[in-house]
Structure 1
Amino acid sequence: MTAPPQVGRVVAIDWSGARGRRYAGIAVAECDAGAAAPRLVAGPGGWWSRSAVFDWLRRSLDRGPALVGIDCAFSLPFAVSRRYFADPARATVFDLWELIDRVAAGEPDFGGGPFVEHPDYGGDFWRSGLQPDWYRDPHRRAEMACRADGLGSPQSPYKLIGSRQVGKGGLAGMRMLHALRRAEPERVAVWPFEDPAPGRTLFCEIYPRLFLKQTGFGQRKIRDGAELDAALAALGSCPLGMVGVVSDHDADALVSAAGLRRLASLAEAWEPPGLDPPARRIEGWIFGVGGAGLAGLTPPAAPAPPRCR
């Protein structure tokens, strides 16, 4: 197994596919290599839009390469999306992103609504009411592996019902990644479709519940600064020292930044057993999910307490 890439700065983004101009559901956190506590990055005027995240990411490229995890699906289940291409065997995720961006081009802030509403593609999404008879809840292989490993139950991107639906956020994320690759082709790469390369900021798909599982919180939410620091300590991070209530979105971003930094040092996370050629080509993978399960992706013993100021 090859050695994992060297990772310095790590960014984690809790994402949103909502329509609007700015969203409480977006949070950005970053941390440096080592054990320093992750920190929240404030959006313009205290709020993030997806376009503001895009602008911040472009500017941050000047600070050197980083590993950026985004909490959204980077692709659609190929069992359904294959019908969008004349030659499915040769289609790649970048072809899918180009299609989605072309169909949704009129939607501001990287919104994906027009794709969901398009007569050629919208019929694949469960958009309202009770589950239709034709809907089979398709999942990508990474989502099924996540469930099999006991790491959580990611929703299908084709299910747009309920508070946990992720489809619109995924479409918006794909449009933003497509724009980043188009704007910065020499400085951006997206895992696992592209390999890590010196000088390039690498983007990967993350699932915050996976990191919360590693901290012992399981399905519980982090409510305040003390619980946040306990979760960070379980991931080998110094405490942040926040006081009072912590929002779900801020907690997800901060814990994901520390968890992604820790997992990135493990070769198994970069080469999970289930990452087959179709996943590398078009379906993608959730970073940290693997056939060996959670125990195979975390050190056998709790990390030593970090040296903190």
Structure 2
Amino acid sequence: MAIDWSGALGPRQKGIAVALCEREGPPRLLRPANHAHWSREDVLHLLRDALPQDTLVGLDLGISLPFADAGAFFPDWPGSPPDARALWALIDAICARDEHLAAASFVDHPEISAYFRRHGGREGARFHLPGALHRRGRMRVTEQAQARAGCKPYSNFNLVGAAQVGKSSLTGMRLLHRLGGAVPVWPVDPLPETGSVLTEIYTAIAAVAAGRTASRAKMTDYAALNQALTALGSPSVAGSGSIDDHSADALLTTAWLRVAAPRANLWKPADLTAQLARTEGWTFGAA
């Protein structure tokens, strides 16, 4: 299963798409019951209560924030949590009154906001570390690996711009906390020998594996999507003309997960240490 996520405001999100691959056959989109669009609570219910048995779930967001570069998520703040699960709990607690698993209260927190770049030219004093070599913000080790693969990752502390993933990541961390361990989250949790597992994905990695470039990762028509699916050895999906890029991302990425999951090396990236797994996590497929 691949889930293209959204951090947008509101009860239901056009940007959320959920696709599923069986062991054989083409990928297919899943739809929420009685609604045209998914809510974040719908996805939480699906993962916690209605997930097919033995499913690998890829969630397109950052499951944590940078930690290794400064030895803390929020250096010099006494309340900085020690690991990813504590970070998820902190975000959910601060945002308890934010509806629909939103995370506005977290980024507007009087102390934590100093670490984020927000709209209206509000760049916090701690958005960059002292002596930073670029202006893109702090990166996790896995995002550095993504960049080496030709992708263009953004800092999860950046909340500005069409390509930012910070809002999605923070709302996703609320979902991960609400899961309450119902599904293990690799590599924060060890990879289970059996059963379902959830992991972070970056849909551009799937697109590159299907022969597209990172700059052409987005697909908006069935012809391009089916060409990419063919490159992955997957049957085509029915349809012609245009398709929204969220659905295309989910369909292609679930087909990629089907062929990538058996590759043992992708579960053992060279730079992933036990400390990184516990704090920053990792993106499945980033070498």
With structure 1 as the length reference, what TM-score do the two structures score? 0.83
Deviation per CA, 1:78-97: give whole Å up to 9, x if none.
Answer: 13514387597x92211111
2:102 to 95, 103, 111: 111
2:5 to 15, 19, 28: 15
Q: 2:199 corresponds to which residue?
A: 204
- Preserved contact between residue 85 and residue 91 of structure 1 (Cα < 8 Å): no
Alignment of 1:229-244 (within 5 A): 229-244=226-241
- Preserved contact between residue 116 and residue 124 of structure 2 (Cα < 8 Å): no
Once residues 98 and 79 of structure 2 are traced to their aligned partners in structure 1, the CA distance between those partners, rounded to angstroms, is: 28
* SS in structure 2 of the partner of residue 223 of structure 1: coil
* SS in structure 2 of the partner of residue 230 of structure 1: helix
Alignment of 1:108-187 (within 5 A): 108-130=99-121, 132=123, 134=125, 135-136=127-128, 137-150=137-150, 152-180=151-179, 182=180, 185=181, 187=182
Does residue 286 in structure 1 map to residue 283 in structure 2? yes
Does residue 97 in structure 1 map to residue 96 in structure 2? no
Once residues 133 and 97 of structure 1 are traced to their aligned partners in structure 2, the CA distance between those partners, rounded to angstroms, is: 21
* SS in structure 1 of the partner of residue 100 of structure 2: coil
Does residue 276 in structure 1 map to residue 273 in structure 2? yes
With structure 2 as the length reference, what TM-score do the two structures score? 0.89
Amino acid at match of 2:38: W
- Residues 1:87 and 1:120: Cα distance change in structure 2 (over 3 Å): closer
Question: How many pairs align?
Answer: 272
Unaligned stretches of 5+ residues in structure 2: 129-136
How much has 1:105 moved relative to structure 2? 0.9
Does residue 76 in structure 1 map to residue 68 in structure 2? no
Once residues 105 and 147 of structure 2 are traced to their aligned partners in structure 1, the CA distance between those partners, rounded to angstroms, is: 30
Once residues 111 and 54 of structure 2 are traced to their aligned partners in structure 1, the CA distance between those partners, rounded to angstroms, is: 39
Once residues 79 and 102 of structure 2 are traced to their aligned partners in structure 1, the CA distance between those partners, rounded to angstroms, is: 27
How much has 1:129 moved relative to structure 2? 4.0
- Preserved contact between residue 189 and residue 200 of structure 1 (Cα < 8 Å): no
Q: 1:191 corresponds to which residue?
A: 186
Amino acid at match of 1:278: Q
Amino acid at match of 1:42: R
- Preserved contact between residue 116 and residue 123 of structure 2 (Cα < 8 Å): no
- Preserved contact between residue 157 and residue 170 of structure 1 (Cα < 8 Å): yes
How much has 1:33 moved relative to structure 2? 1.8
- Preserved contact between residue 74 and residue 112 of structure 2 (Cα < 8 Å): no
Q: 1:259 corresponds to which residue?
A: 256
- Residues 1:193 and 1:84: Cα distance change in structure 2 (over 3 Å): farther
How much has 1:131 moved relative to structure 2? 7.6
- Preserved contact between residue 75 and residue 93 of structure 1 (Cα < 8 Å): yes
Amino acid at match of 1:113: A
- Preserved contact between residue 23 and residue 47 of structure 1 (Cα < 8 Å): yes
How much has 1:169 moved relative to structure 2? 0.7
- Residues 1:60 and 1:252: Cα distance change in structure 2 (over 3 Å): same
Alignment of 1:39-54 (within 5 A): 39-44=28-33, 45-54=35-44
